[in-house]
Amino acid sequence: MSLFRCPLCAGPLEREAHTYRCPNGHSFDRAKEGYVHLLPPNQKHSASPGDDRDMVSARREFLSKGYYRPLLDTLCCQIMSLSGECPVILDAGCGEGWYTAGILQALAAGGKRPRAAGTDISKLALRTAAKRAKEAEFAVASSYRLPLADGSVDVLLNCFSPLALEEFHRVLRPGGAFLYVVPGPLHLWELKQVLYDRPYPNEEKETPYEGFAYREIVPVEGAVTLESREDIRNLFHMTPYAWKTPRAGAERLEALERLTVRISFRVHSFSKIRNQE
């Protein structure tokens, strides 16, 4: 049985070789890469929603080189300590599945038997995710209408993706863990200094959310050196800066052959309050 539910009737889905099927006769084809499309047409805001091919490619190449490994290691340690023997993990807004795959590997190496699902609205990203973590399930779906049953998830990860709190609360079991990753104040500061005449730090704040209790905020700090124009270009194109940088800033960055830049993250860790459904 699949972790996913039918987006049309919320019935359980049976995962077959080439199809997902519910008892009410709704069926959804699996793409050749392995993911399934569970985003109904009336929930799509464009013909091809989500990150485009250039952003997906840039992020895939950049993350594959391990530049954000400190964040992945922190997430693995957090989820290892927060989960039981057979946890159900949801990576909401999973992108290319780099974090999903790394977490599954770490949990399995730690003697656990995890099941994992990843959702994203970009089918281009999920093509990579489904090939990267074949043991997980991936679906084209909106975080605001997750195709999962109430209380079915033990740990939910949201890494730089839309914050759909009502849905996150619904699918998490009481006491389940919610990890929300945001950039720290000086994340990619040296990149911003190249791009903008007057860069400013990211806002840092602690925000309580209804139905969730704070566990802790875990900082992740480090620095990476990008040794090629390709890596610098990939970092730029996987960030929102690629959409809003003045031409002069983009030209300054294009001229660089090497860049050392800070990486800074905050992992906000919550638990779903048990007496709320």
List the chain pLDDT tens, one digit each, 277 residues: 999 999 999 999 999 989 999 999 999 999 999 999 999 876 655 555 567 889 999 999 999 999 999 999 999 999 999 999 999 999 999 999 999 999 999 999 999 999 999 999 999 999 999 999 999 999 999 999 999 999 999 999 999 999 999 999 999 999 999 999 999 999 999 999 999 999 999 999 999 999 999 999 999 999 999 999 999 999 999 998 998 899 999 999 999 999 999 999 999 999 999 874 4
Total-model pTM: 0.94
Burial class (CB in 10 A: 0-12, 13-18, 19+), 113: exposed
Spell out the residues 6+ positions from residue 228 whose beta carbon is closer than 8 angstroms to its own: 257, 258
CATH topology of domain 14-272: Rossmann fold (3.40.50)
Residue 14 structure tokens: 């049976």
The structural domains of the chain, with segments of one domain joined by +, span: 14-272
Residue 103 structure tokens: 């977490």
Report d(CA 256, CA 216) in Å as an integer. Answer: 38
Residue 7 structure tokens: 């987006």
Nearest to 90 by CA among 80, 102, 100, 82: 100
